[in-house]
Amino acid sequence: RIEFKLHTGCPLQADCGVPPAMSLPPPTALPVNVVSAVTGNPVASVEIPRSAGLRLLKEEIKRASGTQISQQVLLSGVHKLQEDVDLQDAIARALSSSGQVDLQMLTVEGQGTLAERVCVDGAGLPEVNGTYKKETRTRYRQEGGSCILQYHADATSWPPGWYLQQWRMCSYYVPMSVLEDWTSDALGDPQLPKQGWEAYQHVRMPVPVVTPVSEE
């Protein structure tokens, strides 16, 4: 009589030809998602090496968003990233959870402009690019186009800022908080920030840059 013995499991994986479970090495590059600290709008999505320093991250953000390195103030929750070690702490937290580094960014600019004519350039929506002429202290109108730059102090749920609108639909927005000396009770005409713009909702990146047009 021949007896068969049924094995329902392998006491040792090696005996069954199944290699032991191996832990995967951590990724060499990490995704970084940056949103506005003011509105929560997306600013940039980049990838950096695990060992990256703060300077490299800011260079990648500049490449993706156009925001100059000197204008970037990066936050991880309530913590301001000031040194490379701060970024490494944020990376360590990301590796222990989602694997994605989530940061917020404040954009800081020295002064805006009160120029009578300005040039909007570099926007992902090409139809909003062009020259704008001041109509009132809070509005510029596109020359030969249908777009306007409109300042709103408190007419919306968003903070005070300038909106770039086309057919009454907002495409880009910049909060007044990007100006170093701006306060909500400031007197005089509101300055138009030249940088620090954000894409409104799902509008195409990149964001525009505003420059004064010299009157010759």
State the DSSP H helix or E strand holding residue 175, giving kind and residue range, or none if neither: strand 169-175
pLDDT at 4: 47
Q: Reading across the β-sheet that carries 147-152, which strands appear in turn?
A: 198-199, 169-175, 161-166, 147-152, 139-142, 130-136, 117-121, 209-212
Confidence at residue 110, expressed as pLDDT on a 0 to 100 scale: 66
The pLDDT value given to residue 2: 55
Q: For residue 38, what are its two tokens?
A: 């003011």
Q: What is the pLDDT of residue 214?
A: 81
How high is the pLDDT of residue 67?
81
Strand, coil or helix: 70: helix
User: Which run of H or of E encompasses 54?
Assistant: helix 54-65
Position 86 scores a pLDDT of: 92
Backbone phi and psi for residue 148, each to the nearest 5 degrees, phi listed first? -135, 155
**pLDDT of amino acid 12:** 47
Q: Low-confidence residues of the chain, pLDDT below 70?
A: 1-27, 110, 155-156, 215-216
d(C-alpha 143, C-alpha 138), whole Å? 16
Q: Give CA–CA dist 164/166, Å, rounded.
A: 7
pTM over 0.75? The answer is: no
pLDDT score at 16: 53
Residues 6 or more apart whose CB falls under 8 angstroms from that of 164 comprise 120, 123, 128, 147, 148, 149, 170, 171, 172, 173, 197, 208
Tokens read off for 125: 């929506």
